Amino acid sequence: MGMNSLKTGLTTGAMCFGACLFSLAPISAIAGPFEDGAAAYNEKNYAQAAIMFRKSADLGERGGQYNMGYLHELGQGVQKSDILSKYWYQKSADQGYSRAEFKIASYHLLGRALPKSAENAALWYRKSADHGYPMAMTELGYLYESGKGVPLSLKQAVVWYKKAADVGYDVGQSNLGFMYENGRGVEQSYSEAVMYYTLAAKQGNARAQERLADLYFTGKGVAQSHSQAEVWYRKAAEQGLGTSQYKLGDMYYFGQAVPQSYQQAIEWFNKAAANGILPAHTDLGFMYESGKGVRIAYQQAMYWYQKAADLGYSVGQSNLGFMYEQGKGVPQSFAQAAILYEKAANQGDAQGQQRLGALYEAGKGVGLSRTQAVFWYRKSARQGNQLAKAALQRMGMR
């Protein structure tokens, strides 16, 4: 579980929960500098907004002080400056304004215009959380979950995630669902996880949508339904969540709850690959290698396997090694295959271990070595690789 976005937004006098855009409050009948600043900001006249919010801030209004911090943070209508944004956030936070307290906590956590200190971050998140700000509740929960700035305590993490969840904050709901799913600080309960994921998913939380889809796919805490899994994976995928894009591509590949379509699988794998999902790289390589949904194109297969291998992904290294071993899309090179198989094998990749064993057994690209062959076959066989098991049996070894 990672940190939430640390960006909150311009204050309007009303609270907007979640990672959302903050709209300005309506201008009151008797306008003051704060309301005039809000009107100017709505019209994207940031210079005028800054003038009016500065007047509000100079009157000691904590909302105006906060907004001056926000404008300096983004450089809207004023100089972009962490030091000036911190100055105004601090003035607002010193008056107990929860969003400003949250910002000061975040600046401490990141070492932004303040000494980097998880301990001080925790203190300010606690102030903000005690003043009812749900983003601070979830961040404080994360600090307890990870033991940063506070003693590690999964039970305290649950306490703060639940506080955020109880006021309807989707990240708190999603994080609490994760704690129930994995039995962290609470007794494991898939049904409770489903409940909290559903609450967050219906608010558009992509991570909760994916986690809910996972539970529908496996039938944990809810009746198994690939159709419902597809619905929630798609929602998350359409928000750009790479892992869900990959899983949706898998559903098209196998025809699970959707018409089987290699073309659709390729489309979603491409999106997932663009988001850095390494298995999508190797799956695209395999589809070009085998001609599934596309014409066989070994060069394209090599391209995707190479990208995955360069990023240290063992499956990409093993598959790229196979292309060198077979001379598919590249001049045959047992030596290069052995190098790549060894990289994969050293990461625990069973296929890479089996293929490296085979090269040692045959003396291709490496020195002939029964000892090394048996060594790698055994490692692979322990992971269930049937080819490695067969090789050991053929060699009269276990």
Please compute the mean of the pLDDT values over residues 52-74 and round it to a whole number: 95
DSSP reduced 3-state for 11: coil
From 167, 99, 109, select the one nearest 142 (Cα to Cα). 109
> With pLDDT > 70 as the criterion, what percentage of the chain qualifies?
92
Q: What is the pTM of this model?
A: 0.88
Q: What is the pLDDT of residue 30?
A: 53
Average pLDDT, whole number, for the chain? 93
Residue 6 has pLDDT above 60, yes or no: no
From 321, 323, 270, select the one nearest 297 (Cα to Cα). 323
**Residue 392, C-beta contacts closer than 8 angstroms, at least 6 positions apart:** 374, 377, 378, 381, 398
Residue 312 has pLDDT above 70, yes or no: yes
Residue 186 has pLDDT above 60, yes or no: yes
**3 within 8 A of 142, measured Cβ to Cβ:** yes
Q: What is the pLDDT of residue 398?
A: 81
Residue 17 has pLDDT above 60, yes or no: no
Residue 35 has pLDDT above 70, yes or no: yes
Residue 21 has pLDDT above 80, yes or no: no
From 73, 53, 50, select the one nearest 64 (Cα to Cα). 53
Whole-angstrom Cα distance, residue 264 to residue 382?
36
Query: Domains in the chain, start-ordered, CATH in brackets?
Result: 1-127 (1.25.40.10), 153-276 (1.25.40.10), 277-398 (1.25.40.10)
Please compute the mean of the pLDDT values over residues 79-92 and round it to a whole number: 98
